[in-house]
Structures are given as C-alpha cells and as structure tokens.
Amino acid sequence: MFGALTEKFQNLFSGLSGKKTMSEENIGDAVRQVRIALLDADVNYNVVSQFVNRIKEKAIGDAVLKSVTPGQQFIKLVHDELIALMGSNETPLDLKGNVSVVMVCGLQGSGKTTSCAKLAAYIGKTEPNKKILLAACDLQRPAAIEQLKKLGSDIGVAVFSQEEEKDPLKVAKQSFEKAQKESYDVLIVDTAGRLHLDEELMKELEEVKKILSPSEILFVASAATGQDAVRTAAEFDKRVQITGTILTMLDGSARAGAAISIREVTQKPLKFEGIGEKVGDLQLFNPRSMADRILGMGDVINLVKRAKEHIDEEASVELEKKIRKATFTYEDYLKQMGMVKKMGSFKSILKMMPGFGALGDIDFSDKEFGKMEAIILSMTPRERQEKDELEFSRRRRVAKGSGVDVDDVNRLVKGFKRVKQLFKNMPDLKAKMKGLKGL
Ligand SMILES: Nc1nc2c(ncn2[C@@H]2O[C@H](COP(=O)(O)OP(=O)(O)O)[C@@H](O)[C@H]2O)c(=O)[nH]1
Ligand SMILES: [Mg+2]
C-alpha cells in the first residue's frame, strides 16, 4: 500500500537504529528525510509541515538528544507522532437513537455503495442483535439501486428502494418511516455522488441530513484519489459536518498519503478502512496498525485479529515450531497457504505481514491453489521434505503427474523457497518490532 513511503522510512531507520550519538545537525537531516518521504507519498503539504515541526521540536527538546539510544528514540518519535496524526485510537461507530441512521456520502466511485453493504455486514457481525435496513437513496445512477439490492441479498440484509421515485428526499423519508414502523435498529443510507463537488449534490445531502438526523455521517474517501480526497473531505465536512471517514481502496497501490491527511484537515476520526472489494473487507481503522504498516513494521494488530477468527490455533503453533526448526516442508507450505487463503482476501493479509514483499506475486485464486495442491501431492515424500532436490527431470515428472506445465512447478518451487526464507527471517523482524514497541 505504502510501498515507496515504507521503503524510505526503512532506509532512514536502518541508518539510524544503531546510532549511539545524534546531534542537532543530523536530527535536522533525518527530519528532512521524513519530510521528503511524506511529501512524496502525497501527504498534504500543511500536514507535513506541522508534523515535521512537532518531530523536530521534540527530538531536539530532549526525547532524542538526551537518550541513550538516540536513533531508536527518533524512530519511536516518528512512530508515535504518526499514530497521533491519525487519531491515536480506534473510533467505533456511534449508533444512538431508536433508529440510528448512518448516512454514507462521498464522490462517485469512491466506494459508497460497497461501503454501505460492508458496514451492514460489519454491524451484523459485531452487534448481531441489531436489525439493519439499507436504503437506496442514490437516484443519480440507475444501477446504484440494483447494486445495493444485490449486495443486500448477498449478506441477507433488507434493502429499501423505490425504483419509480425521482426524489431522493422522499425515498430517504420513506425508508426512515419503514425503519420506525418495523422496528429496525440501524438504517444505513446510500446517497448520490458526483464526479466532482457540486452545489446541487451538497444541497441534496443537506436536505437528506435534515430529514434523517443521522447519528453518523460518514465520508467515503478513496485512497486512489490523492490530494483531491483531502479537499473534498474538507468541503463535505463544511457542508454536512461529517462524523468520520471511511478510507477505501487501501488494497490498491495508491500513494495513500492523502488519506492520512484527512483526519488532520477535518479533525474528524478515520473510522473504517476498506481493504478489498468483498463485503467482508472492512475493518475498524486502527491508527497504530496503520503507522506500523507505513513504517514497514507489519500490521501485527490486524493480522492477529484475523488470525484469531480463522486460524486453527493448534495447527499454527505446530507450524511455528517447524518454522523455528527450519523443517518447513512442501506439505507445511500447502497447509500454511490453505490457512492464509481461508483468512480472506489474500492480498490484504499479505500486507499485514512483516516483510511481505517477497510474497507479493503469488497467485491465490482457487485455480492456482488447486494446481499447487496437485503438484505437491505428485511429489514423493522425500521431495516434499526437500531430501531430494527437485532438479529438472523430477520437475518434469511432477508436472506430468499433476497435469500442469513445468513452469507451474517452477513457480511453486520458487514460492516455497521464498516463503521458507521469509519465515527464517521472521524471528529477527519480530524482535525488531518488539524492541520498538517496548521503548
Ligand atoms: N479494491 C477495492 N475496491 C473497492 C473498494 N471499495 C469499493 N471498491 C470497488 O470500487 C468500485 C466503486 O465502488 P462503489 O461502491 O460502486 O462506489 P460509489 O460510486 O461511491 O457507490 C466498485 O467496483 C467496488 O467493487 C475497496 O476497498 N477496495
Ligand atoms: Mg454507489
């Protein structure tokens, strides 16, 4: 997600981490590098300036200069300030009132409709007693109603829509009446967007707000839109007073710096992050976890959360032992990949792992996974344990046996070796992270 930014921080930090002494001068230099990294990542200019000033003041103040591990302290300072910049804590949804209304707004294509369904699924999971109604109030795009109905039926949540109605305010009103009459607890309202900010859209949203008195007005910002997202967020906030932001498309390769700036500019919390197209790909925004990801420390917080939901605990303890002893075999690889696959969108998981880059291009579609399984099952037990090296004639035999191309086998062997190597390095990374967190 933050590829280039993370790399810059990693370079800077590896230069600093062992430093026994730091002077005002090289603090100034480190601060300059932080500044360049953030600006390159598209973080808002004013946000960067303030951020960098805070770091500099504190570093020279005493946190860094007078400490016994100045390099480490500087890294910790950046880490802490980054967390503070993004709001420090998770901010849960505020669902108050008999029918709590969550109004979802933003520009077209930012991920509003998808986020409405994701929110419904999220509330369904975290507060299973709540009865949820989705309302299709985007009448700009005819397909938007269909899209929401489809998503709603996928997750078993009712959707209120009026195909013939042209006035979104009427639909909003009727949906609220239905929610009251049929004692729904939560009403999630999808609203219209435009390609650009415009007066008509803002007026419409102000009116919808008046009718519904939402307890949450969530602005949806796509991380892919750069600085525009910040300006748009500020404008929406001015007009309808948003209560928070949902960042979407964080699974893309966007320079997501702009997204980070939204909290500072609006002073409203970043509440959720969308990390994929599926309805399950939404999680509470956790500033600490985001700071970890930005600085390349891996997203341990979310990795553990997800793992708890999906992973067989005993099997992972067993696996961890094997990894430590470096007796990781092709069969273990298959097991491991099977578990990771179960955990959900693989790409989003990868980003949580420290040092994930090495795995970046492994394909995790069902088809590829089936191939992987067939290949490994076509190996002899000695091959699976790497007691017999898979040289070319063996690869050809395995390919034939499993009905795939030799290229597929080559790819698998390469993937396996990389994962094994990654795991070998893992304890190191863990120690590194612990060291930082313990400061
Ligand atoms: N990769 C990814 N795609 C997303 C995410 N959120 C939404 N999308 C996709 O982005 C496109 C636009 O989303 P949609 O909800 O229709 O946007 P809207 O116009 O604001 O309602 C759709 O194809 C979604 O599947 C996300 O977090 N990650
Ligand atoms: Mg939509």
For residue 120, report the distance from its CA to the centre of ligand 1, in Å: 15
Task: Kindly report, residue by residue over 217-240, the tens digit of the pLDDT.
Answer: 999 999 888 788 888 999 999 999
Of 385, 291, 295, residue with least CA distance to 334: 385
For residue 56, report the distance from its CA to the centre of ligand 2, in Å: 43
Give strand pairing partners of 418.
none
Mean pLDDT highest for which of 31-35, 69-73, 176-180, 314-318?
A: 176-180
Which band of pLDDT confidence, cut at 50, 70 and 90, is reported for residue 288? confident
| Cβ of 232 less than 6 Å from ligand 1 | no
Order across the sheet with 100-105: list the strands. 158-160, 132-137, 186-191, 100-105, 216-222, 244-248, 270-274, 282-284
Mean pLDDT highest for which of 5-14, 291-300, 320-329, 419-428?
A: 5-14
| Cβ of 118 less than 6 Å from ligand 1 | no
Whether residue 290 has pLDDT greater than 80: yes
- Nearest ligand to the C-alpha atom of residue 110: 1
| Cβ of 224 less than 6 Å from ligand 1 | no
**What is the rounded CA–CA span in Å between residue 70 and residue 64?**
5
Q: Looking at residue 425, what is its pLDDT?
A: 60
Task: Kindly report, residue by residue over 338-384, the tens digit of the pLDDT.
Answer: 776 666 555 555 555 555 544 555 666 677 888 888 999 999 989 99
For residue 134, report the distance from its CA to the centre of ligand 1, in Å: 17
Spell out the residues 6+ positions from residue 203 whose beta carbon is closer than 8 angstroms to its own. none
Which band of pLDDT confidence, cut at 50, 70 and 90, is reported for residue 416? confident
Of 249, 261, 220, residue with least CA distance to 47: 261
DSSP secondary structure of 202-214: HHHHHHHHHHH--
> H helices of 326-390, where?
330-342, 346-350, 366-377, 381-384
Which band of pLDDT confidence, cut at 50, 70 and 90, is reported for residue 36? confident
**What is the rounded CA–CA span in Å between residue 113 and residue 336?**
34
- Nearest ligand to the C-alpha atom of residue 251: 1
Other beta carbons within 10 Å of 125: 12
Whether residue 216 has pLDDT greater than 90: yes
| Cβ of 161 less than 6 Å from ligand 1 | no
For residue 161, report the distance from its CA to the centre of ligand 2, in Å: 13
- The structure's pTM equals 0.71
Give strand pairing partners of 94.
none
Q: 307-344: string of b/e by CB count within 10 Å (b at 16+)?
A: beeebeeeeeeebeebbeeeebbbebbbbbbebbbebb
Task: Kindly report, residue by residue over 325-335, the tens digit of the pLDDT.
Answer: 667 788 888 87
- Choice among 22-26, 136-140, 277-281, 381-385 with the minimum mean pLDDT: 22-26
Which band of pLDDT confidence, cut at 50, 70 and 90, is reported for residue 439? very low
Q: Looking at residue 115, what is its pLDDT?
A: 98
What is the distance between the terminal CA atoms of the chain, rounded to a whole angstrom?
26
**Mean pLDDT, the chain, whole residue set:** 83
**What is the rounded CA–CA span in Å between residue 439 and residue 434?**
9
For residue 109, report the distance from its CA to the centre of ligand 1, in Å: 6
| Cβ of 193 less than 6 Å from ligand 1 | yes
Nearest residue (CA) to ligand 1, atom 23:
277
Ligand 1, pocket-test mutation among 277, 345, 348, 351, most atoms within 8 A of CB: 277
| Cβ of 280 less than 6 Å from ligand 1 | no
Other beta carbons within 10 Å of 57: 11
Show the tokens assigned to 157.
């949540």
Asked if 248 and 221 count as a contact pair (C-beta separation under 8 A), the reply is yes
